[in-house]
Chains A and B, each alone.
Chain A
Amino acid sequence: MTTHTITKGFDLRLAGAPEPVFADAPEPARVVLETAEFPGIKPKVLVKEGDSVKTGQPVFLDKADRDIVWCSPVTGKVARIDFGERRFLLRMVIENAAAGGAAEAFAELPKPAGDRDALIKAIKGAGLWPLFRQRPGGKMPRSNKVPVAIYCNGMDTAPLAADPAFAMQGRKQDLQAGIDLLKKLTPGKVYLTLRAAGDHQSDLRDLKGVEVHDFEGPHPSGLVGTHISRIQPMKLAETCWALRLQDVARLGEWARTGKYPAKTVVAVAGSAAAVRKYFRVRQNAEVSALNGGKAIGGDVRIIDGTVLHGNAVAADAAISSRCTTLTVIPEGTDQRDLFGWALPAFGKLSFSRSVFSWLAPKKEYVLDARLNGGHRPIVNIGAWERVSPLDIHTSYLVRAIQANDIEEAVKLGLLEVTEEDVALCTFVDPCKNDVGTVIRAGLDLYEREG
């Protein structure tokens, strides 16, 4: 075991951490599968509106790799299929029969057996390939490249994020089975990264076949991008895969039971959330399932993910298929601070000491979605450097991408980051630049040109 200490970074002290308590969310009336969650795929629909589906039954596939399928997380009826331009599948709404008390039926899934290729085919056929993420890029792996290592992330340092170690208590067998599968997928090592001196880790530290690395320090010490840079920095043209502990457990559950792992654990957090707990909930469930069956109302922003990395979703939408945290914060509509730039601003959170939040180091802050300023050209006062533990000159990387110089951007480390790795840069930037959007544009351009 090695401990890595991260010094650069920043922990946002936000109010509304999830209570370390489990609860069962009610069965949602519907689940919604969105293709926007998997940018780049070319979906082909396998069912029609009105069809009955079983849990684990494939409902669409990726035409670029027809082995990769997405499965229904419920037993029920396909209620609606939305197409966009050129009949591109946007989303599929499936009614959940279990909400009415009906019994759940499981579709037969491929079994994890055979050599590496057969195993990959089985994982794809079981609809679990979308759990994998690839570096560089941070998307679902869609090439035949063999990963040099696989990272299982057992920590999350993002503000108010679910603690994977807590959420996966009692899942030791699933996790071990998942790791056993992963070991067959890479000739390299399988790494498990954990929070140094974290709680609820006794099971995790007993897991076999993984190399455990501890990380301590402020966010982004819990991001896989940080872990890769410290454990086994990627060489050019290499790839590795990244899963979170929750994903590994689902893989393992499938391996052990043969059934589609349709339930996940989602922590509800945020100052505007009514009940903040770890909910056992169905994948792709409607958001209301996490609020006692009622739609979340008021001037709030519901974020599928954390405040640093996630998508705002409507109150009647559903959570994404890999959701582990749902954050509800005030939206801050129509709230404008008089002389916000000049007053000491005691109750406001800032990385900089020009806001007097340093006087109250323990205070937990309620943040809303306001930018707190206007957009300006980059004036780098050194804040980006102080929140980036990676050996990357972010401002030069951003400029290279903005100049469409992808070759230079790759040299500057584009392939080592995704938008979540630079989220703190976006947060602290006084010029309100959205660094993540630029990074994603660079990665997309690289994908098209590379």
Chain B
Amino acid sequence: MQFLRNLIEKQRKLYHAKDSKLHKLWPLFDAFETFLFAPDHRAPKSGVHVRDYVDLKRVMNTVIIAMLPCLLWAIWNTGAQHFAAWHKVAADKEYVTGWLQAMFAPNAAAPTAFDTVIFGLQRMLPILIVSYGVGLGIEMLFSVIRKEEVSEGYLVSGMLIALIVPASIPLWQLAIGVAFAVVLGKEVFGGTGMNIFNPAMMVRAFLFFAFAAQMSGDMVWVAGNQSPVGVPGSLIDGYSQATALAVVKQATADASHALTAVYSHSDLFFGNIPGSAGEMSKLAILLGAFWLVFTGVGSWRVMLAGVLGLLASGYLMKGFVGLGWVTATGPIHLEVYEHLLCGGFLFGITFMATDPVSSPETNTGKWIYGALVGFVTMLVRTINPAYPEGTMLAILLMNAFAPGIDHFVVAANIKRRLAHS
């Protein structure tokens, strides 16, 4: 350890000395240095002389730990879904191996747990590498331009992005999406702490509208190794599998039966379903949510308000059908609690709506914001004719309203203050 310290102290002069050629790159060196050793800053001589052991690195690391169950399940289930699909439609064809499978050849006919994990890693690792590589690269570039320390915000965004896209996503699309979101969604506002929209959600929205064929529909949720003509990306030729919400969307009546005919409740809860990489296992999400609330890093107010808001608006929509105000659709007929089991709402409300930067800061504001995320999600799911899922749009919309919600909460505080004056 002392050896490492000495080495770094030596290098330090290269980057921090004003006359050094490498001086401009000091934010990069600092990022690497403080990754290893806590920075050498001490409290000013006046004011508060001691500080909490938590820094932003630890906060972000805590969120990453919260997402680990989702990531592990994503790796497993990407492989499991792949082999299941392979057996359904292509068992008689020749199995094409991917880059990692070339080293650990799978038994496609009877895949082992190891084969499943290898396939999951084969898809998830490149996604993580592209997400982090492109995103962190841009962040570091902007840090150098701004001459300030590299902020840790993207460590969470990078992981989130990998978990909210289909595992079949073409990497070049992902790279463009990440670059778009980090530059236009975050850096133009001033970087970490200044952005209006959740950067990870910006990536998803960009991909959703720019490359709709690879981000929606029934064909993209199960990853493959082949790249058949006409279908870009890595899919299994001819295999289509609707997500739970798409099944519900297509149902005309008795959506619950239509849903359970395809996916059982336990499949939905434990995540034995196709979907975006991280949203599938509700159990994994709940583990992460518990950790976030326990450590105090994620806001339980947003999470609880979101779930209550979704459930309440589910009943509300059913009531509107009874009054004849809206036309009954499949999603309205779904049992209200089943809305929690389908789609990415739990993932979104746990990991994305709670983003401290793009959500309201006041406690009252968090309740309103969370409830509205639930409400808008339900609106899109039930009333919008095209999109099965509304979580992404709901969170982005409420991100835009978050400062407005806070404004009214703060205005009420000011009014209270003036009232007793």
Chain A residues in contact with chain B, CB under 8 A? 12, 14, 233, 235-237, 301, 303, 307-312, 327, 329, 331-334, 336-342, 345, 348-355, 357, 367-383, 385-386, 391-393, 395-396, 411-413, 419, 423, 426-432, 434, 436-437
Known contacts: A367-B50, A374-B55. The answer to whether A336 contacts B296 by CB under 8 A is no
Answer yes or no: B49 CB below 8 A from chain A CBs. yes
Q: Which residues of B contact A12 (CB under 8 A)?
A: 50
Answer yes or no: B103 CB below 8 A from chain A CBs. no
Smallest distance from the beta carbon of B297 to chain A beta carbons, Å?
A: 6
Assuming A354-B61, A376-B151, what are 8 further A-B pairs, CB within 8 angstroms?
Answer: A312-B45, A336-B39, A342-B61, A350-B53, A353-B296, A354-B296, A377-B193, A434-B48
A370 touches B410 (CB 8 A): no
Q: Which residues of B contact A307 (CB under 8 A)?
A: 48-50
B5 touches A371 (CB 8 A): no
User: Which of A327, A352, A367, A437: most chain B Cβ within 10 A?
Assistant: A352
Chain B residues in contact with chain A, CB under 8 A? 1, 4-5, 30, 34, 36-59, 61-62, 149, 151-153, 190-194, 294-297, 299, 356-357, 361-363, 406, 409-410, 413-414, 416-418, 420-421
Instruction: Please name the residue on chain B nearest to A36 by beta carbon.
Output: B46
Smallest distance from the beta carbon of A247 to chain B beta carbons, Å?
A: 21
Q: Which residues of A contact B297 (CB under 8 A)?
A: 352, 354, 381
Provide 5 A-B residue pairs closer than 8 Å at the C-beta atoms, listed in order of the A residue. Answer: A354-B297, A374-B30, A393-B413, A419-B47, A431-B56
Smallest distance from the beta carbon of B294 to chain A beta carbons, Å?
A: 6
B420 touches A235 (CB 8 A): yes
- Which of B1, B42, B295, B299 meets A353, CB within 8 Å? B295
Smallest distance from the beta carbon of B30 to chain A beta carbons, Å?
A: 8
Known contacts: A311-B46, A428-B52. The answer to whether A411 contacts B418 by CB under 8 A is yes
A354 touches B361 (CB 8 A): no
User: Which of B4, B41, B50, B294: most chain A Cβ within 10 A?
Assistant: B50
- Which of B4, B48, B58 meets A430, CB within 8 Å? B58
Smallest distance from the beta carbon of A3 to chain B beta carbons, Å?
A: 22
A369 touches B50 (CB 8 A): yes
Q: Which residues of B contact A423 (CB under 8 A)?
A: 47-48
Q: Which residues of B contact A348 (CB under 8 A)?
A: 53
Smallest distance from the beta carbon of B379 to chain A beta carbons, Å?
A: 28
A341 touches B61 (CB 8 A): yes
Q: Which residues of A contact B363 (CB under 8 A)?
A: 382, 385
- Which of A370, A373, A429 meets B57, CB within 8 Å? A373
Smallest distance from the beta carbon of A439 to chain B beta carbons, Å?
A: 10
Give Cα A396 to B362, complex, Å.
Answer: 9
Q: Which residues of B contact A391 (CB under 8 A)?
A: 413, 416-417
Known contacts: A303-B49, A369-B50, A372-B38. The answer to whether A341 contacts B55 by CB under 8 A is yes
Smallest distance from the beta carbon of B142 to chain A beta carbons, Å?
A: 13
Q: Which residues of A contact B421 (CB under 8 A)?
A: 235-237
Instruction: Please name the residue on chain B nearest to A424 by beta carbon.
Output: B48
Smallest distance from the beta carbon of A79 to chain B beta carbons, Å?
A: 25
Instruction: Please name the residue on chain B nearest to A422 by beta carbon.
Output: B48
- Which of A355, A382, A411, A427 meets B50, CB within 8 Å? A427
A430 touches B192 (CB 8 A): no
B47 touches A436 (CB 8 A): yes
B357 touches A379 (CB 8 A): yes
Give Cα A378 to B361, complex, Å.
Answer: 11
Known contacts: A341-B57, A373-B56, A381-B296. The answer to whether A331 contacts B42 by CB under 8 A is yes
A372 touches B51 (CB 8 A): yes
Give Cα A309 to B420, complex, Å.
Answer: 30
Smallest distance from the beta carbon of B50 to chain A beta carbons, Å?
A: 4
Q: Which residues of B contact A332 (CB under 8 A)?
A: 42
